[in-house]
Amino acid sequence: MLSPSLAQEIASDTSAVIGFNVLITDAEGVVIGSGDSSRVGTFHEASVEVVRSKEPATHSASQAQELRGVRPGVTLPLVTGGQAVGTVGITGTPAQVRRFGLLVKRQTEILLRESVMLRSRLLAERATETLLADIASYDPQVVEGDFLGYRAAELGFDLRLRRVAVAFEVTVPDAAARRQGTPTRDMALVRSELLRTVRDVFADPQDIVAGTAPGWIGVLHRLPARGPTASLVAGCRRVIDVIAAQDGLAARAGIGEPAATAGGLHDSYQDACDALRLGARLTDGSPVHLVTDLRVHQVLAAASQSARNRLLDLTAADLRAQPDWPVLRDTITAWCESGFNLVRASAALHIHRNTVVYRMHKIEQLTGRPLREHRTTMALYLACLADHLGGGTEPAGRRGTGSLNDRSPSDRSPSDGPLNDGTRSNRRSAHPPGLAHRSSGGRNERSAGD
C-alpha cells in the first residue's frame, strides 16, 4: 500500500524542509524511504512495536543503541483505514524533533491517502475502459450478456437501465486554424482533460464514460424516463463548445439508438460510430450526428463498393458528366429530403424556387425521366448519396474522393471499420446527417423567372 517511490519522495522532501532526517518504513520495519539514502533497505527495530501498538515512541541515544538500526529521535505510526501500514521517524534528540512529529505524520498520511485514491481511480477508469471496449466488440457467441452485466455491476453500473451510446471524436485543428492562433495539442496529453469535460456534462452516476483511443471518447448515457433527444444533442454541443474553448480542439459527436441490453448497447455504440463516419462525409456543418438521420446512408454504405459503382454508373452517368454535377446532385438531394416540395427544397438550398425548377428541368432532360416520378427520383437520390460515400467510375477529366476502403491503412482513423465491405461485423473497431453539402448555385444558372 505504501510504495517505496512515494515513501522516498516524501522522506527526501520533508527532510529538506525541516532540517532533520526523516525515514519511512513499511509494516515490517524495513526502511523504504529516507533523507539519508544509505538507510534505505535497512531494518528499523523500533518500528515493529510502533506498528503493533499504533502508538508513537521516542528513543534517547542510550535507548537507540539497544535497538537494531535505530537512532535517537521519534517514531510515529502511519495509519490509514484504521490499519498501521508503516511508520515515519525523525532523527534527532527527542526534545528537538518531537514538535515536528505530528505534523510530519499527518502530512504523510494525507499524501498516502491521496495516492491510494488516485490508484483506485486509475484502476476504476481502466476497468471502465475495458467494459466499454467489451460492449463495443460484444459477440453473444463468445461472451454471455449476463457476464458483462455482472462486471458492470461490480463497477456500480446497471446495464438493464435504458441508455444511448455517444461517440466523441476530438482532433487537432488543421493548419489553417492553427495559423489563426489555435494551439496544437497532443491528444494523449489532454486525455484526462477531455474525459473530465465529458463527465462534467454526462454526470449521471450511471453514465459510463471512457476513452477508447487517443482522441476518442465513448459514452453510454443513461436516459431519463422522458428524456427528449433535443436535450442529448444540446449536451453534446455543450461538450464540443467547451473542448473548443478550453483546449483549442475540434470535436464531433455521433449518437446511436436507445438500448437496455448488452447486445443493444453494442449496436447503439456501433451506430454512434457509423454516424460519426457518415456525418463527416454528408453533414451540412453540424458537429452532432444522429444515426436516426442517417439510416439510409448507413444501409447504402453497407452495400458493396461494386454495387454502389453500378448504381451510380447506370443511374446518374449523364449527370455526373456535367461540369455542374455537384449542383445537380445537391438539388436532387434537397428535393427528396424536402418531401418533394418545391418551396422547402428552395429554402434548403438557399436559392429562388425558379432556379430549382430550372435545375430540375435540366436533370429531366439529361436523364429522360420525370422527377415527379418518385421511383425515378429515389433511385437518383440513392445514387447521389453513393457519390458522397465514394463510388462510381469517374468521367474523364474528373477525379472522385474515393471510399473509406479506398484509403491505405495508414490513412484511416482508429474509427474506420468495414463500413463499405458489404457486411456489418459484430466485432468492428470499438472506436466510431443527412443532407449533403449544399451549393448556393452557379452564377450562370439563372432561369427566366429569376
Residue 166 phi/psi, 5° resolution? -130, 135
Least confident of 118-127, 238-247, 368-377, 435-444: 435-444
Q: Which has more confidence, 111 or 205?
A: 205
Q: What is the pLDDT of residues 248-285, one digit of tens each?
A: 788 999 999 999 999 999 999 999 999 998 888 875 67
Three-state secondary structure call for residue 171: strand
* pLDDT band at residue 46 under the 50/70/90 scheme: very high
Q: How far apart are CA 357 and CA 353, in angstroms?
A: 6
In tens, the pLDDT along 111-159 reads 888 887 877 888 888 999 999 999 999 998 888 888 999 999 988 999 9
The answer to whether 165 touches 209, Cβ cutoff 8 Å, is: no
The answer, yes or no, to whether residue 165 has pLDDT greater than 70, is: yes
Question: Concatenated DSSP letters for 95-155?
Answer: HHHHHHHHHHHHHHHHHHHHHHHHHHHHHHHHHHHHHHHHHHT--TTTS-HHHHHHHHHHT
C-alpha–C-alpha distance, residues 247 and 318, integer Å: 47
| pLDDT value of residue 432 | 40
Q: Is the pLDDT of residue 417 over 70?
A: no
| pLDDT greater than 90 at residue 177 | no
Q: Which residue is listed with cell 470535436?
A: 251
Please, which pLDDT band fits residue 184 given cuts at 50, 70 and 90?
A: low
pTM recorded for the entire structure: 0.64
Any bridge partners for residue 253, and if so which?
168, 288
* Helices 145-154/262-282 angle, 10° precision: 90
Alpha carbons 196 and 143: distance in angstroms, whole number: 31
| Tens digit of each residue's pLDDT (9 = 90 or more) over 321-361 | 999 999 999 999 898 888 888 999 999 899 999 999 999 99
Instruction: Reply yes or no on whether the pLDDT at 448 is more than 50.
Output: no
The answer on pLDDT for 189 being more than 80 is no
Are residues 431 and 339 in contact, defined by beta-carbon separation less than 8 angstroms? Answer: no
pLDDT value at position 418? 33
For the record, the C-alpha cell of 177 comes out as 486554424
pLDDT top residue among 411 and 349: 349
pLDDT of res. 70: 93
What is the per-residue pLDDT for 193?
A: 86
